[in-house]
Structure 1
């Protein structure tokens, strides 16, 4: 495998004019501030608080939901003062052999190592397993990143998968009907044969959840081994011509489209108001 390389496109720092920024002014919950400061998802930030690793004005805080005013109070993580970072959003073509987790006891490489060491605290939205490649959203916006990865928002994930053999359409429909595993029901939104290549077939598979090795396990059950698995789409964002190890900044329209996806899903449903009653 060739060494990963940064994008050929110049990497310019994002600016408030080009990249839409979330509202993080005034008092807010502590875990929201930590996520906005780039420590990771809110769930991870809650774990940091409960573990006593966060202080406000020098005092350890372990109560979730504590309010903090970043303009008036000093928040620190493991003794290091935190400040709100300018939000950055990237599309990365993850190479095979890289992990999406924050740390690995075996010392395997993390996708954030593909970015400059001196920069924002970045993390990957969701996961691709070590042997998979393709599109990952990488950001320091913990609030948006947590929502995009959460199953309740059902963001479309599109994959191009090369499998051994030539599966019949009737067999592929089993993936669309769904099948049960110990974690629950695994189900593809759609499966479409793209082309045949020798003794293999390329499939386009669309999911709305990213469970552990979901595609590999479903295809193994119907008797077709995965030879290559590449994510090519995440919501409105497409992999395009990025080579393994390359990345680019998301366009403002892409960031706005991602925000709109989670806002639509989380918006409360309102009952239609009854029309005027007729007089009898």
Structure 2
């Protein structure tokens, strides 16, 4: 195994980071400082040290996280709470988030130390589907649904979005739904909106543009007040996970995502 791969899969850092650690003389193999990241090592017999501490091989790891609203998808932030604040620091040095969710968006977020896994899920040419549950002020008529399915323009100079899947779950007015679920966004809505039309549904996209779901729904006259990602590819969020909790993916779940 390459030295940089070993370090990346042992929670020392991301592949690009550990290459720099090696080049800067921070890594030893069997007591000797090594500066070549591509050096082949035997993870079963060689003794690898980083900053004079023995590194134990952990292998590839994959986590499912139920992201709560109010935290940002980043490792550190001077102002906001981040998704990593919910994770066990002892095992997360080389782990990174796969894609991201907006600060006020909840739901399924993945973590790994496997760069190939991230590439298979996030590369634009892979077209991995992601499904979101939404509450939005407004209505979705047949022509709006047709437009979302065919693709809409969501920004100046941007190309048409790829065809999406849309499922309307409920139509009504805000007054009907405001007590169904505890959502801070809804609680802050002015009382003048109580009789405003509201629609609940699911939108499935295969792209990852910034604020894409919100912008797509805005393009057909809807204002999103709650958004939750419920699935990526063939993987669905484990609803037994409370907000802020995470767990390892099973072998079968990993296969669902990469096959």
Structure-1-length-normalised TM-score: 0.68
Q: Secondary structure at the match of 1:255?
A: helix
Gaps of at least 5 residues in structure 2 are: 174-196
Query: In the alignment, does 2:249 pair up with 1:250?
Result: yes
Q: CA deviation at 1:188?
A: 4.2
Post-superposition CA distance 1:75-104 (Å, at most 9, x none) = 64x776654324332221100011222233
CA offset digits 1:110-152 (Å, max 9, x no partner): 2122122333433221110111111112233343234322223
Task: For structure 1, list consecutive stretches of 5 or more residues without a partner in the other structure.
Answer: 1-26, 261-280
* Alpha-carbon displacement from aligned partner over 1:4-55 (angstroms, at most 9, x marks no partner): xxxxxxxxxxxxxxxxxxxxxxx3373x444423456xxx633663695675
The structure richer in helix per residue is 2
Match of 1:236 in 2: 234
3-state SS of 2:91 partner: coil
Q: 1:97 to 1:29 in 2, by over 3 A?
A: same
Q: 1:102 to 1:39 in 2, by over 3 A?
A: farther
User: Which position in structure 1 is the counterpart of 2:152?
Assistant: 179
> Is residue 147–residue 153 contact of structure 1 (8 Å, CA) maintained in 2?
yes
Change (3 A) 1:73 1:119: closer
Q: Quick check: 2:166–2:203 contact (8 Å CA) kept in 1?
A: yes
The change in CA–CA distance for 1:230 and 1:39 in structure 2 (over 3 A counts) is farther
CA distance in 2, matches of 1:97, 1:142: 27
Q: 2:83 aligns with which of 92, 107, 111?
A: 111
Question: Are 1:49 and 2:19 an aligned pair?
Answer: yes
Q: Which moved more, 1:120-129 or 1:173-182?
A: 173-182
Task: Tell me how far 1:168 sits from its aligned partner.
Answer: 0.8
For 1:276, the equivalent position in structure 2 comes to none
**Partner Cα distance (2:39, 2:161) in 1:** 39
8 A Cα contact 2:75 2:83, kept in partner = no
* Deviation digits for residues 138-180 of structure 1 (CA, Å, limit 9, x no counterpart): 2333432343222232222111111111121211322222234
In 1, are the aligned partners of 2:64 and 2:111 still within 8 Å (CA)? yes
Would the alpha carbon gap of residues 209 and 83 (structure 1) be closer, same or farther in structure 2, given more than 3 Å must change?
Answer: farther
> CA–CA distance in 2 between the matches of 1:136 and 1:228?
16
**How has the CA–CA distance of structure 1 residues 206 and 54 changed in structure 2, closer, same or farther, with 3 Å as cutoff?**
farther
Q: The residue matched to 2:145 in structure 1 has which SS?
A: helix
Taking structure 2 as the reference length, the TM-score comes to 0.73
Quickly say closer, same or farther: Cα 1:37–1:119, change in 2 above 3 A.
closer
SS where residue 174 of structure 1 aligns? helix
Is the CA contact 2:134–2:200 (under 8 Å) kept in the aligned structure 1? yes
Match of 1:134 among 79, 84, 107: 107
Contact 1:188 1:205 in 2 (8 A): no
Q: Give the paired residue count.
A: 225
Counterpart position of 1:274: none
Distance 1:192 1:97 in 2: 27
